[in-house]
Amino acid sequence: MANKIHRSIGHHYIVEASGCDPKIISSVEKVQQVLVKTAEIAGAQVWSISVNRFPPKGVSGVIVISESHISTHTWPEYGYAALDFYTCGSEVDPEKAVFYAVEAFGASTSHITEITRGIEDGDKIFYHSLITWEEDFENGKRKK
């Protein structure tokens, strides 16, 4: 029996960031800076930026990148940020970007789900797989 070749189109990270700094995640300017830097850290090319206030305190933002998108929605009153990173191709490092964003938001804990998307075994039938884990942070840095 021949070995199957598994290829994937992209990686999608869904992140729940808890214990975030409310001063950071309530600021449109700071959230935009973090998202743009996140794209840079991933090695992605930015195409479009839209970051706005979401009443009463939250911020919603999306960075369209040539490799797909990076987005967030924040709830400063809960110290919570929901982040979404989807990148295609092999030239970017989305996991590195995920950790940067969570640290930059000042999170104490994050729950991360990585979905490998567009997996294909040579038969043009695509599927996905997922793994999930938790990371703890201290003083803005991931505990190792």
73 is catalytic: yes
The angle formed by the CA atoms of residues 10, 141 and 67, to the nearest 5 degrees, is: 20
pLDDT number for residue 5: 55
Domains and CATH numbers, the chain: 10-142 (3.60.90.10)
Residues 6+ positions from 103 with CB-CB distance below 8 Å: 137, 140, 141, 142
pTM for the full model?
A: 0.87
Q: Which residue has the higher pLDDT, 4 or 7?
A: 7
60 is catalytic: no
Query: For the segment 106-142, what is each residue's pLDDT rounded down to a tens digit?
Result: 999 999 999 999 888 888 899 899 999 888 887 667 7
**Is the Cα dihedral 51, 45, 108, 117 positive or negative?**
positive
Q: Does residue 8 register a pLDDT over 90? A: no
66 within 8 A of 60, measured Cβ to Cβ: no
Tokens linked to 57: 């305190």
Please indicate whether residue 20 is annotated as part of the active site: no
Residue of 11, 12, 27, 88 with catalytic role: 88
Predicted confidence (pLDDT) at residue 1 exceeds the cutoff of 50: no
Question: To the nearest whole number, what is the mean pLDDT of the chain?
Answer: 91
pLDDT tens sequence across 29-45: 999 999 999 999 999 99
**Which of 66, 71, 73, 108 is labelled catalytic?**
73
